[in-house]
Amino acid sequence: MTDAPMPPATGKPGLTVSPLAVDFPAMGEIAGVEIATARAGFYKHDRPDLVLFRFAEGTACAGVFTQNKVGSAPVDWCKAALAQTQGEARALIVNAGCANAFTGEAGDLAVRRVADAVGAEIGCPSDAVMMASTGVIGVVLEYGKVLNQLQGLSVALDPGKWEAAARAIMTTDTFPKGAVAEAEIGGVKVRVAGIAKGSGMIAPDMATMLGFVATDANLTPAVLHDLLVHATAETFNAVTVDGDTSTNDTLLLFATGRSGAPQVSDPHDTRLQGFRAALSSVLLSLAQALVRDGEGAQKYVKVGVTGAASASSARRIARTVCESPLVKTAIAGEDANWGRIVAAVGRAGEPIARGALSVRFGPLVAAEHGAVASGYDEAAMSAYMKNAELEIAVDVGVGDGAAVMWTCDLTHGYISINGNYRS
């Protein structure tokens, strides 16, 4: 038995499942993708913490990575390997429980040992092995624990193990996250499936977030990279939990080409229209699931900003609102404290027309024309705030720029989870 016994319900004992959780979808399979999980032992308690993906020959790969300047050994490895292979991959190995970040040469060496061993097991060059790690920073990966499991993982590879993989990469996640979509390219059905993990250190520009998405479409590495970068902007980069980005954020997209659909080598090819939408749908579902599982989250909040000087200005305003501890704690307290939203908007440093500013909670107007709304009804507001899913809309009255961002509230749960993460 390589595959671990039935994993615990959450990534860490003692966590309760987020009230905003969504069910893991029926993922089906992606032709050319096989998966196995195991327990390497990076956690003291009995849970799977290691995943191996094997991809068919000729699989293209693209990645986007953390902007954090400290980075990590596995992120450095992936970037270098993708540059070396020009976007091909045959395997992906992921561990939870150790980030192997800020580990200097010893960390780099551990990554190389793992890549060499996986390459030998799969029968591919080391550079064709992608790698991702999540967990405590500053601890060198004990690569022997990974190497121990490779033979068993190789034997257990199976195309149906998406949910097991999603569970094995969880850290403080309280539910596994997956999404799937279909499209057609040249009249042939293609599928996109992905998994992700959060759930703290979630912020735009890639937070501690791992996401692995695969498709059986036949796309060149250049096309894959273009599609991934564009789809990330409005999905993974439009969610924030605490504004902390991590050293290890990694989003990888693999295309096996085994669907039978024609190859596309131009990112502007009109046959990609449906695929683009399917990819965005998968990424958005995964990104939203990260927010739904934000540490301690009790509320799922969509913040829309309109009337800004530009889309990027709208986005900076939305992000400031989404990351304001005072806004987030007010939401946790089910308090329609629109004044804090106004204050956060003012703090963003972006152009606003104070006398035209409006704030809406769902269908209820809280403020308009730069002051409290004439029909403001505190009782109705309070009732609305009891919903688990909220929508806040701000118009800043200067232009046509708009943006949407998702976040969650800031609760006692966040404090409890993060006050003793390493214990």
Does position 411 interact with a second copy (CB under 8 A)? The reply is yes
Rounded to the nearest 5°, which phi and psi values hold at 78? Answer: -60, -45
Using CB under 8 A, which of 69, 268, 363, 374 touches a second copy? 69
Using CB under 8 A, which of 7, 87, 194, 200 touches a second copy? 200
Rounded to whole angstroms, the Cα distance separating 34 from 53 reads: 6
Using CB under 8 A, which of 142, 182, 244, 377 touches a second copy? 244
Does position 103 interact with a second copy (CB under 8 A)? The reply is yes
Does position 338 interact with a second copy (CB under 8 A)? The reply is yes
**Residue pair 129/92 in contact by the 8 Å Cβ criterion:** yes
Does position 387 interact with a second copy (CB under 8 A)? The reply is no
Does position 37 interact with a second copy (CB under 8 A)? The reply is no
Does position 120 interact with a second copy (CB under 8 A)? The reply is no
What does DSSP say about strands 177-185 and 188-197: parallel, antiparallel, or unpaired?
A: antiparallel
By CB atoms closer than 10 A (0-12, 13-18, 19+), residue 243 is middle
Using CB under 8 A, which of 313, 324, 358, 407 touches a second copy? 324
Buried (b) or exposed (e) across 329-343, using 16+ Cβ within 10 A?
bbbbebebbbebbbe
Name the segment binding a second copy (CB under 8 A); options: 117-125, 183-191, 267-275, 339-347.
Answer: 339-347
Using CB under 8 A, which of 286, 367, 390, 394 touches a second copy? 367
Token pair, residue 352, equals: 């606003």
**Residue pair 375/368 in contact by the 8 Å Cβ criterion:** no
Pick between residue 117 and residue 344 the one whose CB is nearest to a second copy: 344
* Minimum distance from residue 410 beta carbon to a second copy (Å): 7
Using CB under 8 A, which of 369, 380, 391, 404 touches a second copy? 369
Q: Which residues pair with 390 in a beta bridge?
A: 301
Binders of a second copy among residues 154 to 183 (CB under 8 A) are none
The candidate with the shortest Cα–Cα distance to 423, out of 2, 1, 6, 14, is 14
Does position 101 interact with a second copy (CB under 8 A)? The reply is yes
| Residue 208 annotated in active site | yes
Rounded to whole angstroms, the Cα distance separating 124 from 417 reads: 40
* Minimum distance from residue 21 beta carbon to a second copy (Å): 21
Token pair, residue 164, equals: 């097991």
**Residue pair 42/145 in contact by the 8 Å Cβ criterion:** yes
Rounded to whole angstroms, the Cα distance separating 346 from 317 reads: 9
Q: Which of 172, 208, 215, 256 is catalytic?
A: 208
Active site positions, annotated: 208
Which residues bind to a second copy, rule: CB under 8 A? 67-71, 99, 101-104, 106-107, 136-139, 200-201, 242-247, 324-326, 329-330, 332-333, 335, 337-340, 342-350, 352, 354-355, 357, 367, 369-372, 410-412, 414-416, 418-423
